Structure 1
């Protein structure tokens, strides 16, 4: 065989990494691993979960290298994400435990990297479809576990955190550890399933069953945040539909009016927070959160600019988390509010960067959804709305599922509308390779 006839080195492997089938399998694997992280850690241990994430990161690097001709380095990562991660890394130097803080940052970086890879190998519809498939499976498993524990065996599954309350109509946790996490995942699933239905990307029967499954588990979770999330996302859907059906020349004024209405609504909601809390029946739950936030704010005053160092989920043996729990006689693993949590850990600088990351992504995603014909573009801003609302009551957006989804949506939004489009080289369409966009 002559040199001209010899096959290129590793040609088959490179072709595999660039294929649409591999991109779909990789996306499903990443989403499945991260969304099932609690169950994986409880069943196989944290080392197993970490090994899975490391393996997926190695594959992600290989995918980006194989697709390097299709991907623009300039548009690879949102600038605000780089700044936030850079500030979190810098906080290691003034953290009370540099080693723990550093490895927490590595975990944050790894999940962000996986989200970036997915954002560059799948378009919005493909991402929503992969997430829909993953959440259908995980919610079905959650329901099966609850039926087995609460009805057939009537025995709690302590190793999974399942209390077996299905016969009493909740609260249930599924395989996600807590009722609030199950409710949060169910809302993300509802958004995704409805987008699938509107785009006709799955059969109507599958869409209907999926919506019933997610809605039923959201109700059975008995999470006080689910109702707030449902109302907030519902209002966002209505506002987006109104904008999409408005003449282009009138959209600017309508968007400005809606923005003003949101600001007024947030202020009114804060002023009327006590009646709202009483209405949704979350008084005790919210009172506990307020006590926690008050103590956190006291500690923020000591380090208002820099914060106490990045940990993500709290290291309960580290200062000041251990002292906060001691004062409250509790064992909180997070600040139960992403904004207060990042303020405590990274100060006002970190909070400003996180808000900028989320706000820019939301504006970009919202504008793309309001201007483009396909309803699939609504997926990104609606997921972001759910994340931002849930961040008022939980710190999910800083770790695990929530953090990966925030970064994924930021990458998707940045590819739809970005200042980089004016200076980027041709060869990509909407931030995606031409072959990926049509795969």
Structure 2
């Protein structure tokens, strides 16, 4: 009879193996991408059961790898502050049981995001995202072809209307065209990095980029197109900055910051024209009415907020009253910053802005100073997520939050804000 310690060593070796970590990482990305589809097909109990099981397996794998991981400073303090404040909101929440469920959901995706960031290299993470998103786009287009061309009938359990024959918009397995568009943008970023690093064959990389572009086109999402524009602009700026000598890099970094601030100011001055241009189909009218309804309730709990909920529950006050006049139920504030303000108050908003700001600055400095192109992925993905968060709240839940945690932790692993400006990471310009 084999002694128990041998069994324990074998189990630990399995849990700590690279193949098991790769499978967990890919599964984690897939769960984030297919969270809506999973919930639609098997309900909340099934989705939460999968998330809980995956989180447990990630915990076991971390335990098996505990000697290989540098635990000091493993989680950014800014991330702990935000999650901690959201957790504390259960004490003053107006809907404590719903807050408890929302926190468990948030923590579940936080755990799997931390796991992926800790046990996988950046290029391995990019490959996991690339593999999952390639499958997602093929499946989404396949379902849209089935619905819009073959059976000419909606697939209501996936919120697929079947508009492909008329050129879109399509939503695929994501539930909304904006979410699918964001996936297309992040997929495009991942596919470009795969191509640049030769992580996949050239034909696969080019075909994947074409696939992401096709999906983005058929979503017909102005938000996704705006996000794609910002991602391309960030890529172009990084391309130039990375080729500067260290002594000139700081000056041009500050120049880029000033130009970005001026463009933001110009957009604010011309906001009237922007509003008119973006108000296609009355979409902006709906958003403005929703924000006005929320704004009326913000002063009731200005500092601490109403309590964390994550994705809105239309059966719980005060969310039950939002969007009633438009006949369109609201699942979020369609603006991540306003969503956080409403749920966690001014203190939570400050923590969220600080979290996003630190994560982006760290990732940008890392991308501009490290030689390998793989370090540009977190910075460009964060630029896309932050841009999308101005018109959607997807960064707060499921795939958006999972991806944000991955990028945030990867940037923090390589570069702390106290060391960022002390010395350059590169002594020579990139070739």
Q: TM-score, normalised by structure 2?
A: 0.93
CA change 1:107–1:159 in 2 (3 A) is same
**Distance apart, 1:302 and its partner CA:** 1.9
Distance 1:297 1:257 in 2: 36
SS in 2 for 1:201: coil
**Distance apart, 1:290 and its partner CA:** 1.8
Superposition CA RMSD, Å: 2.0
SS in 2 for 1:236: helix
Give CA-to-partner distance per residue, 1:195-242, whole Å, 9 cap, x none: 111111011111111111111111101112022111111111111111
**Distance apart, 1:27 and its partner CA:** 0.4
1:343 maps to 341
Contact 1:297–1:340 (8 Å) recurs in 2: no
SS in 1 for 2:331: coil
Q: How many residues align?
A: 421
Distance 2:371 2:412 in 1: 18
CA change 1:329–1:44 in 2 (3 A) is closer
Contact 1:75–1:420 (8 Å) recurs in 2: no
After TM superposition, the structure 1 = structure 2 runs for residues 93-132 of structure 1, keeping only pairs within 5 Å, are 93-132=91-130
Distance 2:303 2:287 in 1: 23
After TM superposition, the structure 1 = structure 2 runs for residues 205-354 of structure 1, keeping only pairs within 5 Å, are 205-279=203-277, 282=280, 284-326=282-324, 330-354=328-352
SS in 2 for 1:384: helix
SS in 2 for 1:45: helix
CA change 1:421–1:363 in 2 (3 A) is closer
SS in 1 for 2:173: coil
2:414 maps to 416
After TM superposition, the structure 1 = structure 2 runs for residues 118-197 of structure 1, keeping only pairs within 5 Å, are 118-197=116-195
**Distance apart, 1:324 and its partner CA:** 3.1
Contact 1:170–1:221 (8 Å) recurs in 2: yes
Contact 1:227–1:280 (8 Å) recurs in 2: no
Distance 1:421 1:54 in 2: 36
CA change 1:330–1:158 in 2 (3 A) is closer
Distance 1:349 1:159 in 2: 38
Give CA-to-partner distance per residue, 1:53-74, whole Å, 9 cap, x none: 1111110110111111122322
SS in 2 for 1:73: coil
CA change 1:407–1:300 in 2 (3 A) is same
2:55 maps to 57
Distance 1:338 1:176 in 2: 18
CA change 1:413–1:282 in 2 (3 A) is farther
Distance 1:147 1:45 in 2: 25
Distance 1:232 1:120 in 2: 28
After TM superposition, the structure 1 = structure 2 runs for residues 326-405 of structure 1, keeping only pairs within 5 Å, are 326=324, 330-405=328-403
Q: TM-score, normalised by structure 1?
A: 0.92
**Distance apart, 1:125 and its partner CA:** 0.6
SS in 2 for 1:175: helix
Distance 1:45 1:331 in 2: 19
Distance 1:245 1:279 in 2: 37
**Distance apart, 1:2 and its partner CA:** 11
Between stretches 66-75 and 283-292, larger displacement belongs to 283-292
SS in 1 for 2:235: helix
Q: Which runs of 5+ in 2 are unaligned?
A: 426-431
Distance 1:272 1:212 in 2: 34
Between stretches 315-324 and 161-170, larger displacement belongs to 315-324
**Distance apart, 1:278 and its partner CA:** 4.0
